[in-house]
Amino acid sequence: MQALRTAATGMSAQQLNVEVISNNIANMNTVGFKRQRAEFQDLLYQTIERAGAQSSSDGNVVPTGVQIGGGVKAGSVYRITEQGTPTMTSNELDVAIQGKGYLQILLPSGETAYTRAGNFSTNDQGQIVTDDGYAVQPGLTVPQNAVAISIGKTGLVQVTLQGQTAPQTIGQIELANFMNEGGLEAIGDNLFMETGGSGAANIAAPGQPGFGTLLQNYTEASNVDAVSEITALIVAQRAYEMNSKVITTADQMLQATSQLRS
């Protein structure tokens, strides 16, 4: 019975849906996290009677035909890149991006990764790094005798040295932008990698046309909305239950058929 296989694809799809929702909920407090959403597509159809076929020698045409669907499959799991709320941290190395763009991070492999998580600190050499010790690009080193750090909206990084009043510029933070942000590959640790689907990175200073600005002493909160996720979870659960009910019903029908006697 086709209904068994069709309902099974529905249960599998809703399982994927719940897994995506659970990942969103788990990352409600992850800095810079962008929620995801699962999208689905219908499977191939079995054509029993084709629409437009002639039904008689007089030229009568079948108006709609008969097609039976084969179920559902996962089409994509895409990332929703809407802005998260800036959260004050009072850490002078923390920055939140207001608008489009990604901070650049140098991986141990020499590759460049990208992130929206701007919760930074300094390592033993004074370099500005992520929680994992990966250097922010372009490389920025804070002098040991610095008493204050200023990061402007345009990414200009200045420090005030002990015994001096005039700030000194130590570098410029640049942002990367992509034609298709949803095409970036998430590799964990709040990092993304460029892919053929995302397009090549376009690098510019914050505040340039098409690029956001930086906000010092803040980080960008996750854009997960708890109410929306719980609502979606309930809908997915009910859909899973209904598909399981179809399997139970189809099984009962097959059982009734097997008990028929001549």
The total of structural domains in the chain comes to 2
Q: Are residues 18 and 46 in the same domain?
A: yes
Q: Bin 59: left if φ > 0, else alpha if -120 < ψ < 50, else beta.
A: left
The residues facing 148 across adjacent strands are 160
Residue-number span of the structural domain to which 150 is assigned: 86-220
* Structure-token pair, residue 85: 């709320």
Q: Are residues 72 and 97 in the same domain?
A: no
Q: Are residues 230 and 215 in the same domain?
A: no
Q: Are residues 97 and 47 in the same domain?
A: no
Whole-structure pTM value: 0.85
Q: Are residues 103 and 49 in the same domain?
A: no
Q: Which H, E and C letters describe 85-129, residue by residue?
A: CEEECCCCCCEEEECCCEEEEECCCCCEEEECCCCCEECCCCEEE
Neighbours of 234 (CB within 10 A): 11
Q: From first to last of its 262 residues, what are the pLDDT tens digits of the chain?
A: 788 899 999 999 999 999 999 999 999 999 999 999 999 998 888 887 788 787 777 777 878 878 888 899 999 999 999 999 999 998 999 999 999 999 999 999 999 999 999 999 999 999 999 999 999 999 999 998 888 999 999 999 999 998 888 889 999 999 999 999 989 999 999 999 999 999 999 999 999 999 999 999 999 999 999 999 999 999 999 999 999 999 999 889 888 888 877 5
Q: Are residues 241 and 156 in the same domain?
A: no
What is the β-pairing status of strands 156-161 and 66-69? unpaired
Q: Are residues 198 and 246 in the same domain?
A: no
66: part of which helix (H) or strand (E)? strand 66-69
Q: Are residues 17 and 42 in the same domain?
A: yes
Q: Are residues 191 and 112 in the same domain?
A: yes
CA distance 82 to 222: 10
Q: Are residues 28 and 44 in the same domain?
A: yes
Q: What's the sign of the alpha-carbon dihedral 103, 107, 112, 113?
A: negative
Q: Are residues 28 and 115 in the same domain?
A: no
Q: Are residues 213 and 97 in the same domain?
A: yes
* Residues contacting 70, CB < 8 A, separation 6+: 2, 5, 6, 9, 42, 43, 44, 45, 46
Q: What's the sign of the alpha-carbon dihedral 253, 258, 261, 262?
A: positive
Q: What angle do CA 102, 108, 109 make, to 5 degrees?
A: 95
